[in-house]
Amino acid sequence: MKIRKYDKTDVNQIIDIWYTASILAHDFIHKDYWEKQRTAMRDTYLPMSETYVITNKKGVIGFVSMVDHYLAALFIEVAHQGEGYGRELLDYIKARTDHIQLKVYKRNQRAVNFYERHGFSIKEALIDDQTGEAEFLMEWRKD
């Protein structure tokens, strides 16, 4: 397992991982929403983020994207979820900063639990403007 900064050759894999995992984790949001976000992910969000990928022998299996102290994305290939890759990426980012904020859909209980297990706390309940879904603003601070 290796973590490295992403490069242009990783983009299609990153988008596929994000799209497939988003549909699974957010089955309460119609998949057309995620399909419409693919171009923005590639052309806007990835270029503006500091993105790292985690790889195994087969290639890229997950990624994390940061914008300053905001965790914009953390996704693991569906077949490899629950194997510790998300924790590895999160630990990698936590070692490089003193605080992180993120937003997570309230109905994505698996993700809420993951972040709480890794030291994040809920700071505020919000409504996502684009989807109308309830979400939490969560935060982690280095001790």
Q: What is the pLDDT of residue 143?
A: 83
Q: Given this structure, which CATH class describes domain 2-141?
A: alpha beta
DSSP state of 77: -
Q: For the chain, list residues with pLDDT below 50.
A: none
Sequence ranges of the domains in the chain: 2-141
Question: What phi-psi label fits residue 41: left (phi over 0), alpha (psi between -120 and 50 degrees) or beta?
Answer: alpha
Q: What is the pLDDT of residue 58?
A: 86
